[in-house]
Amino acid sequence: MSLEHAILGFLNYHPYTGYDLKKIFDTSIRHFWSADQSQIYRTLTRLTERGFVEMEKVPQQDRPDRKVYHITEGGRGELLNWLAGPPPMDEPRSAPLVQVFFAGQLSDEQVLAKFEGFAALMRAFLAMYDQVPDQLGPYQEDISSPREHFFWLLTLENGLCSMRANLAWAESIVERIKAGKVPPK
């Protein structure tokens, strides 16, 4: 679980409202982390209870007050502690691989279609990545120093590397299928 840490990470650049955070998640880091709008508000409440963030009401004329959250000393400590700590290992959870594992229960034609589908999916991802801009979307001014931009590019690279590896994997399987190397039912 690290929606909390992702929120703390952004609030450590700049104070934001729940609405701001939703937009930041939807634009900048959408390709490796997503967040439900309700969940962002609930997490902000939880972080407030724990003393990691504080809220300030900014009244506006004729529309609901903005609730601007800023990180506290305790929150900064929690964040830096988590960042400096050991890298969490991604718990494995891959619905596509479940399909691969059980693909033997399909007919040979269906198996071929399945893996061609995988390859197509990964090519589509790669095409998308080419369109991911160098920049971070709105709210850049707060975040995009050369240092932050450098680390942003590193996360993009990771996506590219993984997708290329997966594409090569899927393609090698398609070749093997066509070469008749799948044991029959």
Partner DNA sequence: ATATAATATAAGAAAGGTCCAATATGTCCC
Partner DNA sequence: GGGACATATTGGACCTTTCTTATATTATAT
- Under the criterion CB under 7 A, does residue 1 sit at the interface with DNA? yes
In the bound state with its own copies, the residue whose beta carbon lies nearer, of 55 and 182, is: 182
Which of DNA, its own copies, none lies near 14, with the C-beta cut-off 5 to 8 A by kind? none
Please state, in angstroms and as integers, the Cα–Cα distance from residue 73 to each residue in 51, 54, 76, 81, following that order.
Answer: 9, 10, 5, 12
Please, what sign has the CA dihedral across residues 71, 42, 36, 84? positive
Q: Is 18 a binder of DNA (CB under 7 A)? A: yes
Q: Does 41 interact with DNA (rule: CB under 7 A)?
A: yes
Q: How far is the CB of 31 from DNA (least distance, A)?
A: 14
Binding site for its own copies (CB under 8 A): 1-2, 5-6, 9, 12, 29-34, 79-80, 82-84, 86-106, 110, 113-114, 117-118, 121, 125, 145-152, 154-155, 157-158, 161-162, 164-166, 168-169, 173, 181-185
Binding site for DNA (CB under 7 A): 1, 3, 17-20, 23, 34-39, 41-43, 46, 60-68, 91
